[in-house]
Structure 1
Amino acid sequence: MIAEGRAVGFNATVTTLVLVRHGLTELTGPVLAGWTPGVSLDERGRAQARAVGERLAPLPLAAVVSSPLERCLQTAEAIAAAPGRAGGPLPVLREERFGEVRYGQWTGRPLQELAQEPLWRVVQAHPSAAVFPGGEALAAAQHRAVSAVREWNARIAEQAGAHAAYLVCSHGDIIKAIVADALGLHLDHFQRIQIDPASVTVIRYTELRPFLVRLNDTGTGAEGLLPPEGDKAGGESDAPVGGGA
Structure 2
Amino acid sequence: MTTLLLVRHGLTAMTGPVLAGWTPGLGLDERGRAQAAALAGRIAELPLAAIVSSPLDRCVQTAEAIAAGRGGAAGTVRTDERFGEVHYGDWTGRRIEDLAKEPLWRVVQSHPSAATFPGEDGESLAAAQHRAVAAVRDWNARIAAEHGPDALYAVCSHGDVIKAIVADALGLHLDQFQRINADPASLTAVRYTELRPFVVRLNDTGGDVSALVPEPQEGEPGREGDGSGKAGLGSSDAVVGGGA
* Category of TM-score, reference length = shorter chain: 0.7 to 0.9
User: 1:200, 1:215 → 2: CA distance?
Assistant: 7
Q: 2:21, 2:92 within 8 Å by CA — same for their partners in 1? A: yes
| Residues 1:145 and 2:132 aligned together | yes
More helix by share: 2
- Which residue number in structure 2 is paired with residue 133 of structure 1? 118
Alignment partner for residue 89 of structure 2, among 104, 120, 136? 104
User: 2:34, 2:87 → 1: CA distance?
Assistant: 27
User: 1:89, 1:144 → 2: CA distance?
Assistant: 23
| Residues 1:124 and 2:109 aligned together | yes
Task: Please list the CA deviations of residues 150-203 of structure 1 after superposition, one character each: whole Å capped at 9, or x if unmatched.
Answer: 000000000111100110000000000000000000000000001100000000
Q: 2:52, 2:78 within 8 Å by CA — same for their partners in 1? A: yes
User: 2:161, 2:25 → 1: CA distance?
Assistant: 20
Q: 1:58, 1:86 within 8 Å by CA — same for their partners in 2? A: no
Q: Give the alignment's TM-score, normalised by structure 2.
A: 0.82
Structure with greater Cα Rg: 2
Alignment partner for residue 18 of structure 2, among 8, 16, 31? 31
Q: CA deviation at 1:89?
A: 5.8
One-letter amino acid matched to 1:41? L
Q: 2:54, 2:85 within 8 Å by CA — same for their partners in 1? A: yes
Q: 2:48, 2:74 within 8 Å by CA — same for their partners in 1? A: no
Task: Please list the CA deviations of residues 121-178 of structure 1 after superposition, one character each: whole Å capped at 9, or x if unmatched.
Answer: 0000000000000210000000000000000000000011110011000000000000
What is the SS of the residue equivalent to 1:147? helix
Instruction: Give the stretch that moved more between structures: 68-77 or 211-220.
Output: 211-220
Q: 1:21, 1:175 within 8 Å by CA — same for their partners in 2? A: yes
Alignment of 1:1-245 (within 5 A): 14-81=1-68, 83=69, 85=70, 90-134=75-119, 135-219=122-206
Change (3 A) 1:89 1:101: closer
Q: 1:68, 1:99 within 8 Å by CA — same for their partners in 2? A: yes
User: 1:146, 1:179 → 2: CA distance?
Assistant: 9
Q: Give the alignment's TM-score, normalised by structure 1.
A: 0.82
User: 1:42, 1:73 → 2: CA distance?
Assistant: 13
RMSD across aligned positions (CA): 1.2
Q: CA deviation at 1:103?
A: 0.1
Q: 2:86, 2:125 within 8 Å by CA — same for their partners in 1? A: yes
Task: Please list the CA deviations of residues 81-122 of structure 1 after superposition, one character each: whole Å capped at 9, or x if unmatched.
Answer: 1x5x48696100000000000000000000000000000000
Which consecutive aligned stretches of 4+ in structure 1 deviate over 3 angstroms post-superposition? Answer: 85-89
Q: Whose relative contact order is higher, 1 or 2, with alpha carbons under 8 Å and at least 6 apart?
A: 1
Structure 1 unaligned regions, length at least 5: 1-13, 221-245
Structure 2 unaligned regions, length at least 5: 208-244
Give the length in aligned residue pairs. Answer: 205
User: 2:52, 2:144 → 1: CA distance?
Assistant: 15
What is the SS of the residue equivalent to 1:100? coil
